[in-house]
Structure 1
Amino acid sequence: MTASTIDPAIARSWLLVSGIRSEEFDAASDSRADQIILDIEDAVDPKLKADARGSVIDWLTAGGVGWVRINDRSTEFWSGDVDGLKGVPGLSGVMLAKTESAEHVTETFDRLGGTVPVLALVESALGIEEAPSIARARGAFRLGFGSGDYRRDTGTSADDLAMAYPRSRLVVASRIGNLPGPIDGPTVGSSHPVLRQKSEHAVAMGLTGKLCLDLDQLSVINETISPTVSDATWARDFLDDFESRGRVIRDGSDLPRLGRAEKIDRLAKAFGIQPIARR
C-alpha cells in the first residue's frame, strides 16, 4: 500500500475504484496505475455513501495512499466528505465531482485545510463554460473531463469530432490557469484497439492523462500517453548536440525544438523510457 512514484502532475493513468469495494483497494494500489482514485460519488448508491466514506478513510489511515472522488458541492454529501477526509493520512488529493465554478474548488480546498490539491472534474456545459475560472481557482491542481455526464447534459454523441470542443476548452483553460494538461474521461469497453485510438486522440488534442475503470486498460493508457522510444531518442540526441555546441542558437527553429526536446526527455526519464544509445 504505497504511493505511486509518478508525480500526479504528469500521471497518465488514473484508476477509479468504487469506494464500497474495499477488498479491491490493495490490488488497485499495487497495479500499474500512475494514481488511484477511490470513488465515493457515482460508483456508490446514496444509501451506502457513509459506509463507503468510512471504508476509504479506514484504508487511508491504515497506510493506503490515493485520491478520493468526492460528491459535488451542491449535494448533501459534500460536507461530510470534506470534513471526514480532512487531515486523513494517505490522502493525496480529492477529485471534486461536477465542478461548475471556481468557488466549488476554493470552498473544497479551504474546508480540507488549504493543503490538499483539488482535481476539478468538469462534467457539464456550465462547467466547460466556466473552465478558465475553475483552472485559476485557488487549490485547483488539474482539470478532468467527465465525458459521460457531459454527453448526458448536452446530448452530444461520443464521436471524436463532436467531443473536440469540450476537450480543447479544457486544454486551453489548463494553460490559462498554468495547470498541467487535463485528464480525459474513461473509455468504456474491453477493446484495446479502441482504447488506444481514443488515447492517441486525447494526446493529439493536448490532454495528458486518462481516467480508467479497469486494470486491463492501464498498460495501454500508459504506453499510449508516454513518449515513444523514437521520441526519447530524438530528444536526447537533440539535447546532446545542443550542449556540444555550447547551447548556441542557430536559427528560429532551435528554441521550439529545445522546449519540445526538454519536455520529452523529462517525461521519458519519469516513465522509464530509454532512448536508443548511439553507436
Structure 2
Amino acid sequence: MPDHVSPIRPRRSALYMPASNPRAVQKARELSCDVVILDLEDAVAPEQKVAARVAAMEAVRAGGFGQRELVVRANALDTEWGADDLAALRGGGADAVLLPKVSAIDTLHAAREALGDGPALWAMVETARGVVNLPDIVDAAREVGLAALVVGTNDLAKELRCRPGSDRAPLLPILTQIVLAARMAGLIALDGVINVLDDEERIAAECAQGLEWGFDGKTLIHPAQIAPANRVFSPAAEEIGWAEKIVHAFEQPDHANRGAIRIDGKMVERLHLDGARRTLALHQAIQARQ
C-alpha cells in the first residue's frame, strides 16, 4: 500500500463546495483556499446525487485548481450512492477521497478495496463510535492509505446532544482526542466548520482556538471564511523570526552537538529546533503558493 502521509503543505483552509453547483465549482478554481472539497454528501439533495457525481468527476478531469489540493467527499458506503461514488473516484485523479462518518476500520478497508491504489483517504470523525475507535482507526492508517482526520462538529454535537457555544466547551475534550490520534500516526488534522458567515472576528477566534488545539487548518462552508482561516493558520512574523533564530543558533559550530542552548535568555532544546524547521517549511510552502 502506498504511503499517503503527506509532506508539509498548507492546509489552512479547506472549503466545501457542492459538486452539484457548477458556478461554485468554477469559483473554487479562483479562490485562495488551500483545499477544495467537492461535496457529494451533505450539500447535495438526494435527487441530485448522481448528477453531482458526474459533475465532480468532470471537474476533477478538467483540472484548473492550481496548487489547491482537490478532495471529493463521497457519500457513506452504507448509502445507495456510496459504492458508485468510490467506483467513479477509483481512477479519477482527485488527491484524496473524504469518507463521512468513519466509525470503524471496516469502512477504511472497504473504501481502500474500492479505490485500489488510487487517492489517499481522509476520514471524517463525526460519530461517538468514531471517537471511541480512534486508536484502531489511526493504527490502520499506513495499511489503508489514510492521510487526514477531519472533524464533523455539527454531527458530533447532534449525536452527543450537546450545545456548544462560541467557546465549543462541550466538544473540546473530543477535539483533543482527534488531534492526539492524528499525531500518533503522522496525519493531517482539520478542525470542523463554523456556521457563522458574516462575523470575521468570531470566525478568526474559532480558527485561533483550533490552532491552539493543534489543528493544521479548518474546514469551511463559505468563501468569506477563507481569509481569516488563512491568516490565523499562517505563521506570524514573530514566529517566523524566532524560528529562524533557533535554526541559525543550532547551525553554529559550537552548538552542533548540544542538546540545549540559550537564546535571548531562554533555554531552547532540539525539540524546539524540530518545531522551528516545521514552521519555516510551512512558511516557505505558503510563500511558494503566493
TM over 0.5: yes
SS in 2 for 1:163: helix
8 Å Cα contact 2:148-2:187 kept in structure 1:
yes
Give the match for residue 238 of structure 2. Answer: 230
From 249, 257, 275, give the equivalent of 2:258.
249
Q: How big is each residue's C-alpha offset from its partner over 1:61-91, in whole Å with a ceiling of 9 and x where there is no partner?
A: 22355211001122121101001122113x1
* Cα distance in 1, alignment partners of residues 145 and 15 from structure 2: 22
TM-score normalised according to structure 1 size: 0.90
**Structure 1 residue 212: deviation in Å?**
0.4
From 185, 191, 201, give the equivalent of 1:184.
191
Q: How big is each residue's C-alpha offset from its partner over 1:147-172, in whole Å with a ceiling of 9 and x where there is no partner?
A: 00110011122232211111011011
Over 6 Å off, 4+ runs: none
**Structure 1 residue 210: deviation in Å?**
0.6
Give the match for residue 29 of structure 1. Answer: 29
8 Å Cα contact 1:67-1:94 kept in structure 2:
yes
**Structure 1 residue 219: deviation in Å?**
1.3
* Cα distance in 2, alignment partners of residues 62 and 242 from structure 1: 47
Give the match for residue 263 of structure 2. Answer: none
For 2:48, give the aligned amino acid.
Answer: L
Give the match for residue 74 of structure 2. Answer: 70
Q: Assess, with a 3 A threshold, how the Cα gap between structure 1 residues 250 and 45 changes in structure 2: closer, same or farther.
A: closer
For 1:87, give the aligned amino acid.
Answer: G
Q: How big is each residue's C-alpha offset from its partner over 1:201-260, in whole Å with a ceiling of 9 and x where there is no partner?
A: 111111111100111111110110111010001101111122123523163742122122
SS in 2 for 1:14: strand
* Cα distance in 2, alignment partners of residues 151 and 97 from structure 1: 15
8 Å Cα contact 2:8-2:281 kept in structure 1:
no
* Cα distance in 1, alignment partners of residues 174 and 207 from structure 2: 16
Q: RMSD value over aligned CA atoms? A: 1.9
Give the match for residue 261 of structure 1. Answer: 276
| Deviation larger for 38-47 or 155-164 | 155-164
Give the match for residue 38 of structure 2. Answer: 38
* Cα distance in 2, alignment partners of residues 192 and 109 from structure 1: 38
The residue correspondences of 1:152-167 to structure 2 (distance < 5 A) are 152-159=158-165, 160-167=168-175
Between 1 and 2, higher relative CO (CA 8 Å, sep ≥ 6) is seen in: 2
From 100, 103, 109, give the equivalent of 1:100.
103
* Cα distance in 2, alignment partners of residues 81 and 69 from structure 1: 9
Give the match for residue 276 of structure 1. Answer: none
TM-score normalised according to structure 2 size: 0.87
Identity of aligned residues (%): 24
8 Å Cα contact 2:244-2:280 kept in structure 1:
yes
Number of aligned residue pairs: 266
The residue correspondences of 1:1-279 to structure 2 (distance < 5 A) are 10-65=10-65, 66-89=70-93, 91-137=94-140, 138-159=144-165, 160-180=168-188, 182-189=189-196, 190-246=198-254, 247-249=256-258, 251=260, 253-272=268-287
